[in-house]
Amino acid sequence: MELTTITQIAHGRLIGVAPDGDLRLVWDHAIIRLPIFDLPHLASLLDLWLLEEEPALLRRGYYRLTHSPEGGCHLWVHTAGLWLSRQDVQMLMSLVNAVVEELCRPLCRQPKAPFGIGYRKFIASPRRGHHRN
């Protein structure tokens, strides 16, 4: 699959943009589709997981983190899952935070327009005298 790399943290561990415009998380041999609009939820979930001592389950949007019987944790994105060690969670957190900075933060800095970006301002003409009450 052709991907345009946004951020890469190690060989075989990156987040990129696919030709269809969706984000893909490549983690060793697994490729998981990530919804871009929900990416800040994944960043906050990973931050919270590392802050908590032993959370049983954390869920944000499409993402779920649970403890694994083998140690470490499982990250679930819909039905796709990854087993991650604590070090892997830290690596993934820095990868996701870098992508959030790259893609999501610029959208927050854009000027607000009533109908969104790209719309011209519509100026209503004043009423003529024959429409008075």
pTM over 0.75: no
Asked if residue 14 has pLDDT above 90, the reply is yes
Average pLDDT over residues 60-71: 82
Reduced 3-state DSSP string for the chain: CCCEEEEEEECCEEEEECCCCCEEEEECCEEEEECHHHHHHHHHHHHHHHHCCCCCEEEECCEEEEECCCCCEEEEECCEEEEECHHHHHHHHHHHHHHHHHHCHHHHCCCCCCCCCCCCCCCCCCCCHHHCC
pLDDT of residue 114: 54
Average pLDDT over residues 76-82: 87
Of the given ranges (16-20, 70-74, 95-99), which has the lowest mean pLDDT?
70-74
Asked if residue 46 has pLDDT above 70, the reply is yes
Give the tokens for residue 3. Answer: 């991907």
Asked if residue 19 has pLDDT above 70, the reply is yes
**Degrees, nearest 5: CA angle 97-43-54:** 125
pLDDT of residue 13: 93
Domain boundaries, the chain: 36-117
Q: Confidence band (pLDDT; 50, 70, 90) for 22?
A: confident
Average pLDDT over residues 34-55: 80
Q: Can you tell me the distance from the alpha carbon of 46 to that of 40, in angstroms, rounded to the nearest whole number?
A: 10
Q: Can you tell me the distance from the alpha carbon of 42 to that of 97, in angstroms, rounded to the nearest whole number?
A: 9
* Higher-scoring residue by pLDDT: 53, 81: 81
